[in-house]
Structure 1
Amino acid sequence: MESIKESVKHMPGFDKFQERYELMKQQVLTDPGVMRFLRENPEISDIHAEKLLSSFYTFKNEQHACRNCTGLENCPNLMQGYRSELTKVRQTVELRYKPCELKIRDEQKKSMSSLIKSYFIPKEILEARFDRLYKHSIDETRRNAISKAYEFVQMAGMGQQVKGIYFYGKFGVGKTYLLGAIANGLAEKGVQSLMVHTPEFLREMKSSLSDGSFDSKMELLKTVPVLMLDDIGAENMTNWVRDEILGVILQYRMMEKLPTLYTSNCDYDMLQQHLSFSQKGGLDEVKALRIMERIKHLSSPVFIGGNKNFREDY
């Protein structure tokens, strides 16, 4: 009885198939990467090498794809974002995979993003970087604010107590964007932060009393390694917001020595006046002063001036 191998030879089109196979084998075995591997492993005979053509073929094609890379999302490799490597294992050869540079950067970016939590913060703010802060003509107050922000990032996560910053100035001078740059700078160091737009978040806190998420949100704001309260002083002030939300959060953070950063259109005196308003009419200056003492204890004031509205450029 004729063997299967011999039977295949008599099938129509076998000659053309054999030609294509020989051409493919030649291309694979003369590939620079494959030839280098075979030189480094001279114990692999020609017969053995032919049996490994499938692995060599995959390696050749994937190396070609990597050399002509058009982006991680278009990667045609068997494992997207991974480079194949030929590895001698006992009497055979295996393909092993390592992440490419694009994959590594993508994973780092995802890891950084997971360290930055936010509520009601625009996407462009969450993509802020220190190197973009210098693309504009800036005055001395803005230069000082950037310097203080950068200094904070360098000191945070070093195992020592770090005081927060209270950035204040008029609308549109780049206070919120600066917080975004700080958040990304901290993420690069592996330090988690939470950035919230204070007026919107405080409105949500009221509704969270009914959906059962109030305690978990309060716990997050109290315990996150770095808290950033954006636009404080713009919220509708009530006794409950001041005493049961801001007061409780800031008291905990002061006791635990956790840094808090702020942005505001108000300086300290203006914010204290805002905090003193009472729903019952008149002023509650004692409770306002108590909140301000916590804010001052947790931060240093940094003014940002300038006449240009940078928000238009972000």
Structure 2
Amino acid sequence: MDSIQKSFAAIDKGGRLQKQIAEQKKRVVMSKPVQSFLREANEVTEDMIDRGLSKLYEFKKEREHCETCPGLENCPNMMQGYRPSVYVERGSLELTYSKCPLKLDDEEKKLQQGLIQSFYIPKDVLEATFDLIEQDSDRTKAITEAIKFASTAQPGEDGHGLYLHGKFGVGKSYLLGAIANDLKESRIQSALIYTPDFFREMKAAIGDGTFQEKLEAVRKVPVLMLDDIGAETTTAWTRDEILGPIMQYRMSERLPTVFTSNYDYDELEVQLSYSDKGGTEELKAKRIMERIKHFTTLVEVKGKNRRS
């Protein structure tokens, strides 16, 4: 039986195919990406190049796409957002792919966006930062406590949170947004929730079968922020089936919760004691308030009404 080389030579009598391969090899080897690799990897032999020519071609093509990058969404590479590198292993050329800077930036942005969950929170609150908060003597203590919490929060290790109370429009919700954005810089996930609307949604969730899923998500978020607690019409169900289980879980898992309210501790306890069944249920309200008091610092937010 003739050797493979003889069979190949019989087919390629004029040597045209050999010339094409040689020209292709020259174009690949002389390309900017491959030349850069060869300068750094001086142990590469001619035989290794011949055997790894297809990999060098792939490397060249993909890297040239990167040099004229059309953006991540239009990336023409085989794996969008990845670029190849060549390395030598056991006398052969091998390819590996890694994320390009645009891919890394995109993932970072998505991660950052996912670090703040929000439910029914206005856009201006979600964009709040401590740098943008209007400083005044009435709110100095509240701002200081908010910054302290945001910079020292350790979900899972320290479950202590804040209870910000004050009159309508003094900027309590805005402080929550600033805390959330500060936590984001430390890669700590938080959830901002407007409590009255959340309780209404949880009632509707019973009908669509998503109640337990939503409750679990809120219970387990590293830092939970319940805005305007007490503003809703209290029912025994929202108190005992939503707020109670949330606080019990977070207390046991040392997950901090930040509240805002128009009521202080004692006033909120009165609100929570009301029952839609008629009368009051002071003991049940007291149990929840003991958890809130034990795991939050009471801070009054003073100042003028900034919404008027």
Task: State the TM-score bracket (shorter-chain normalisation).
Answer: 0.7 to 0.9
Query: 1:156 matched to which residue of 2?
Result: 153
Specify which of 12, 16, 28 is matched with residue 5 of structure 1: 12
Query: 2:3 matched to which residue of 1?
Result: none
Query: 2:56 matched to which residue of 1?
Result: 56
Q: For 1:57 and 1:178, how far apart are their aligned partners in 2?
A: 56
TM-score, normalising length: structure 1: 0.72
Specify which of 189, 201, 211 is matched with residue 198 of structure 2: 201
Structural mapping, 1:114-193, within 5 Å: 116-121=116-121, 128=127, 132-135=129-132, 137-140=134-137, 144-157=141-154, 160-169=157-166, 174-183=171-180, 185-186=182-183, 189=186, 191-193=188-190
- 1:260-296: CA deviations, max 9, x gaps? 1112344445534433444356666665455433322
Structural mapping, 1:157-306, within 5 Å: 157=154, 160-169=157-166, 174-183=171-180, 185-186=182-183, 189=186, 191-254=188-251, 256-268=253-265, 270-279=267-276, 287-302=284-299, 303=301, 305=303
Query: 1:100 matched to which residue of 2?
Result: 100
Alpha-carbon distance, 1:164 to partner: 0.6
Query: 2:83 matched to which residue of 1?
Result: 83
Q: For 2:65 and 2:287, how far apart are their aligned partners in 1?
A: 63
> Secondary structure in 1 aligned to 2:239?
helix
Count of aligned positions:
300
Runs of at least 5 residues in structure 2 that lack an aligned partner in the other structure? 1-6
Structure-2 change in CA distance of 1:52 and 1:270 (3 Å): same
Q: For 2:177 and 2:114, how far apart are their aligned partners in 1?
A: 14
Q: For 1:41 and 1:248, how far apart are their aligned partners in 2?
A: 61
The CA RMSD over aligned residues, in Å, is 4.1
Structure-2 change in CA distance of 1:6 and 1:178 (3 Å): farther
- Amino acid of the structure 2 residue aligned with 1:241: T
- Amino acid of the structure 2 residue aligned with 1:274: Q
Alpha-carbon distance, 1:158 to partner: 6.9
Q: Which 4+ residue blocks in structure 1 deviate beyond 6 angstroms?
A: none
Structure-2 change in CA distance of 1:308 and 1:26 (3 Å): farther
TM-score, normalising length: structure 2: 0.73
Query: 1:29 matched to which residue of 2?
Result: 29
Q: For 2:191 and 2:132, how far apart are their aligned partners in 1?
A: 26
Whether the 8 Å contact between 1:238 and 1:277 is mirrored in structure 2 is: yes
Percent same amino acid among aligned pairs? Answer: 49
Alpha-carbon distance, 1:97 to partner: 0.9
Alpha-carbon distance, 1:143 to partner: 5.6
Whether the 8 Å contact between 2:33 and 2:64 is mirrored in structure 1 is: no
> Secondary structure in 1 aligned to 2:271?
helix
Query: 2:38 matched to which residue of 1?
Result: 38
Q: For 2:103 and 2:228, how far apart are their aligned partners in 1?
A: 37
Alpha-carbon distance, 1:252 to partner: 4.5
Alpha-carbon distance, 1:87 to partner: 0.9
